[in-house]
């Protein structure tokens, strides 16, 4: 048996909609997802009848008068406490999480699978995407990110290392092995295609607009804006770090 050390880091943070004075968020490292409650206090109660200021309980026999507790200001105190821990559902490293618009479920994705969770259930999740081939030598792409639709709780997208984005509908099947839409650019001209073409086309993250009409994807050298009604090409493409295009060979050799 091999024991793998899980690095102390946070891969993704996603906030839940606020329902009370406290904030709730999901965080994930490579293997474990946690639901946190974040709250702040700037007031404290003093003057309890049965408790001293140092926290010790008073002897009831020594209480000779009734005190009315009072609220006093204090230095702002921010507290974060884990409320739930969701673990042991991913074989590979988790790369993204996304909270559903219903605020009851969320997605978690690793290189080959996407799981659907309920925020109230920590020991069970449902596998809704599985791209692991029977023979791992036939693996041609991995999942890089996933995101729920901001308005339609049954729709979600996920991106891949091949530069494609798939839109799936959970109403179609329990296992979303068939996409409803596929967003990808036309193939490169063979005369301009290079060794690095596939590497730099890998999508690192994807995000939908608040209206759910548009989608933004980021690969190594570009930021692309997609219209969900048009799968064939992005409506806008913005170069990022264009100066690196001539240095790809050096970056590759140095494993950047």
Write out the two tokens for 42.
């700037």
Per-residue pLDDT band at 190 (split at 50, 70, 90) = low
- CA distance linking residue 117 with residue 127, whole number of Å: 9
- CA distance linking residue 102 with residue 148, whole number of Å: 10
**DSSP H helical ranges for 29-97:** none
Over residues 140-170, the pLDDT tens digits come to: 999 999 999 999 999 999 999 999 999 999 9
* pTM for the structure as a whole: 0.81
Question: Hey, where are the domains in the chain?
Answer: 88-253
Tokens 């474990």 correspond to: 32
pLDDT score of 114: 97
For residue 191, the Cα-to-chain-centroid distance in whole angstroms is 38
Q: What values do phi and psi take at 251, rounded to 5?
A: -65, -40
Q: Is 212's pLDDT higher than 60? A: yes
Over residues 1-37, the pLDDT tens digits come to: 345 666 778 999 999 999 888 999 999 999 999 999 9
Write out the two tokens for 148.
């729920």
Q: Is 132's pLDDT higher than 60? A: yes
Question: For 5-24, b where at least 16 C-beta lie within 10 A, e where not — what string?
Answer: eeeeeebbebebeeeeeebb
Write out the two tokens for 89.
């559902």
Per-residue pLDDT band at 185 (split at 50, 70, 90) = confident
pLDDT score of 220: 87
Q: Is 64's pLDDT higher than 80? A: no
Nearest to 166 by CA among 147, 189, 188: 147
Would strands 155-160 and 214-218 be described as parallel, antiparallel, or unpaired? unpaired
Q: Which residues contact 134 (CB under 8 A, 6 or more apart)?
A: none
CATH topology of domain 88-253: Methylamine Dehydrogenase; Chain H (2.130.10)
Over residues 94-131, the pLDDT tens digits come to: 999 999 999 999 999 999 999 999 999 999 999 999 99
């Amino acid at each position: 048996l091999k024991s793998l050390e899980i690095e102390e880091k946070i891969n993704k943070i996603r906030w839940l909609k606020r329902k009370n004075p406290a904030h709730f968020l999901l965080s994930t490292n490579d293997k474990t997802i946690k639901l946190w409650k974040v709250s702040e206090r700037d007031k404290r109660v003093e003057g309890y009848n049965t408790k001293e200021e140092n926290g010790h309980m008073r002897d009831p026999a020594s209480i000779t008068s009734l005190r009315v507790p009072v609220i006093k200001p204090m230095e702002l105190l921010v507290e974060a406490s884990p409320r739930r821990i969701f673990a042991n559902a991913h074989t590979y490293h988790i790369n993204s999480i996304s909270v559903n618009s219903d605020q009851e479920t969320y997605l978690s994705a690793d290189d080959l699978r996407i799981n659907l969770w309920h925020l109230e259930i920590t020991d069970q999740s449902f596998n809704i995407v599985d791209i692991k081939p029977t023979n791992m030598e036939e693996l041609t792409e991995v999942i890089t990110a996933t995101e729920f639709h901001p308005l339609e709780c049954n729709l979600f997208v996920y991106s891949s290392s091949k530069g494609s984005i798939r839109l799936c509908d959970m109403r179609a099947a329990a296992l979303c092995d068939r996409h409803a839409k596929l967003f990808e650019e036309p193939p490169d001209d063979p005369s301009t295609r290079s060794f690095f073409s596939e590497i730099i086309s890998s999508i690192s993250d994807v995000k939908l607009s608040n209206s759910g009409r548009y989608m933004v994807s980021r690969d190594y050298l570009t930021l692309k804006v997609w219209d969900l009604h048009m799968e064939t090409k992005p409506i806008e493409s913005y170069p990022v770090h264009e100066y690196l295009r001539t240095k790809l060979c050096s970056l590759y050799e140095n494993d950047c």
